[in-house]
Structure 1
Amino acid sequence: MDNHLKDHIEYLLCVNIEGVRSVSGGDTSQGYLLETESELFFCKVNHADQADTLFLAEKKALEAIASTKTIAVPKVVLCEVLDKGGFLVMQYIAPKRASPQEMEHFGHQLAQLHQNSATDTFGWEADNYIGSLPQSNKVNSDWAKFYVAERLLPQLRLAADEKRLLDDEIPSEKTLLKACQTLFPVVKPSLLHGDLWSGNYIISQDGQPYLIDPATYYGHHEVDIAMTRLFGGFDTSFYGAYNEHFPQIGGEEERKDIYQLYFLLVHLNLFGKSYYRPVKDLLNRYF
């Protein structure tokens, strides 16, 4: 972090920053731990052109989750634009290794978040981001239509534009919609984290689950669960607790695959060819 930005944050917070330490800020931003005499802050800095809108979307998502009073998120302190890019300052949550009991608590709290259905439509009040990629959130009252139009098709088209998939490997919108309408149940919109892998939650030192780096919108609650299972899965106590609130109705395995397809397409578009085969296998299996 350069001294100009450090001085600017000191001025805005009216504090003296005694130490700045580089820490992980995710795949898209630089992260810093800011130490003051009485408090610690986490600061994300990004110099990309879209950083100001990216951080504003993150701020709004964190505040939306916090407003449900179901599961904790870090409190946002500052969200500012730079000459190029922007920065986000939040409460710092010191992590610890989760116990099975704490993961059980996490499962209950996530289910309570998903029980928030403050709307009859799927989507969000504005577009946001999944990682550094734009995520379209145009509202739709039909979940299958929303998922195809706002999730699968944009990523498939981006993959074609970037030559990561061939045009003839991409199913038509009609084919995608028919499969999704067959496999998706009628569901109520749930407030989602939107990108819930193991790097996007923290168990605090006092055992409290916190959600971080959301890509929030209203969707089917199984989307978050599908993402938790993509890279190895969470502790079994998490799923046992969660399923007390959302008993299985059948077809979860197939829906998991199709919901994971979106995240795999995102990874294909962000990180390249190592994700081609799992994407192609799912496209062949369902479409």
Structure 2
Amino acid sequence: MNPALIPLVTGTEVTFWVCATMMVLGALGLVLFRKAVYCALSMVVVMVNLAVLYAAMEGPFLFVTQIIVYTGAIMMLFVFVMMLVGIDRPDSTVETIKGQRVLGLIAGVLLAALLIYAIAGAVTVGPAGLAGPNAADGGNVQGLAGLLFGRYIFVFELTAALLITAAVGAMVLAHHQRIHPKAKQRDLADERMRAYAATGEHPGTLPNSGIFATHNSIGAPALLPDGSVAEKSVSKTLVARGATIDPAGLQEGTRRNFEELERVRDADEEDDE
């Protein structure tokens, strides 16, 4: 057999097939997983492997940006918000925005058309590669900076202005005018004592959410000594959005935890004897 006819497999090709397989699996997990936190972590897998592909194609700026900005900041922010609002509560099936299904269908059709166009272009046209950008004066990063702050400076500044406008708009919408002076700590304490004298409401702090430190989400309510749910530990926002609480299941979990605690304590006492 002629050695010249033996196909050579480069490290870039191996990296592509490994990362591409992981990206496809991550994308499938994003669509198929039922829990939102698993979907977010699957998206992290896709973004990390995309960053590795950038590195394999000698794009150091895109590699670092992909890791720091998207994987390290945005996706971790998504995971943090999911853990904060509760990941085990069921999603509400009530539509709060009229026509969102029609808009979602239109957006899905446009996205499918865009994917078909991109895949068709990738199949019919050969890869451009990064030989041209890497051959610029100073290398890849300097060439990219020359494009951003040269040919595409107007689009770059327009995008920056759009992001700043969006941030300012979010702050304006979230801001509310204070109509009462801010209550001080002494005022809050006096109000609690007046409520205790008038209605017998406990003057202490509200019960913390979570059960035996197995949860740190506000979606997991606290339990009273009799095993019932402490209503004040349940977020009013989650209740308004249709979150359901299973007191029987929480009581069963409490009972199992107490039994395990008693078993461990009895075993320790036997060992001491």
**Higher CA-based Rg:** 2
Counting strand residues as a fraction of each chain, which structure ranks higher?
1
Relative to the length of structure 1, the TM-score reads: 0.23
Q: Which has the higher contact order (CA 8 A, sep 6+)?
A: 1
Q: Which has the higher helix share?
A: 2
TM-score, normalization: structure 2?
Answer: 0.23
